[in-house]
Amino acid sequence: MEEQATKKRPVFLTVLCILGFIGTGWSIIANIMAFFAYKAANALTSGLSEGLSDAMENVDASSMEGMEGMEGMEGMENLGSAMNDALGGMGEYMAKVAENGATVSIINAVLAIVALLGVIMMWKTKKTGFWAYTAAQIVMLIIPLVFYGFSTMAILGLGVSAVFTILFIILFGVNLKHMS
């Protein structure tokens, strides 16, 4: 019976499924490892945002004493607050990651298992696998935005992940005609 299913499955779908096994398997392992890493690192990063803000507030006009009149130093008296504003979003993002990273990792590990089950079903040429895979992958893209917000870092991460996710969904979708 398994030989018949293998003979019916196109080579392109076979290659996609193998890549899907590798990708979802790696995602499961990476998210489980990330869960434990976030748990261990949470104590180290919990005060990072506050420490960064405090350090940047100390770089102000009084730190620039003696530099008045130096060429190219005009307008530098607000350097500390400008850096704090620029990095403040990063500090806030890092604090959210430290706070929610373990939860996001576990949710993504469960979703990767669902995606893996979808790939297994597509290996057996079942359309249901495509829908399970697609749903899990789309939710995995949304989860970081829900927990970390719409910061620049979250959007950049989403963009990189979305390229591969959309590519694989389209490529698996092209093979739906070979599934029952």
Per-residue pLDDT of 127-157, as tens digits, reads: 999 999 999 999 999 999 999 888 777 788 8
Query: Going by C-beta distance under 8 Å and a sequence separation of 6 or more, which residues neighbour residue 47?
Result: none
Tokens 């704090």 label which residue? 84
Domain that holds residue 8: 2-178
What's the rounded Cα separation, in Å, for the pair 112 and 143? 12
Token code pair at residue 82? 């400008």
* Of residues 82, 76, 74, the one with CA closest to residue 57: 82
pLDDT at residue 84 greater than cutoff 90: no
pLDDT of residue 150: 83
pLDDT at residue 3 greater than cutoff 70: no
Given a contact cutoff of 8 angstroms between Cβ atoms, the answer to whether 13 and 178 are in contact is yes
Q: What is the CA radius of gyration of the chain?
A: 24
pLDDT of residue 66: 54
Average pLDDT of span 101-129: 96
Sign of torsion over alpha carbons 56, 61, 63, 68: positive
Average pLDDT of span 53-64: 54
pLDDT at residue 111 greater than cutoff 60: yes
pLDDT of residue 158: 87
Average pLDDT of span 6-26: 91
Given a contact cutoff of 8 angstroms between Cβ atoms, the answer to whether 140 and 108 are in contact is yes
Tell which phi-psi region holds residue 126, choosing left (phi > 0), alpha (psi between -120 and 50) or beta: beta
If one counts the domains in the chain, the total is: 1
Token code pair at residue 32? 């489980």
Per-residue pLDDT of 31-47, as tens digits, reads: 999 999 988 887 665 55
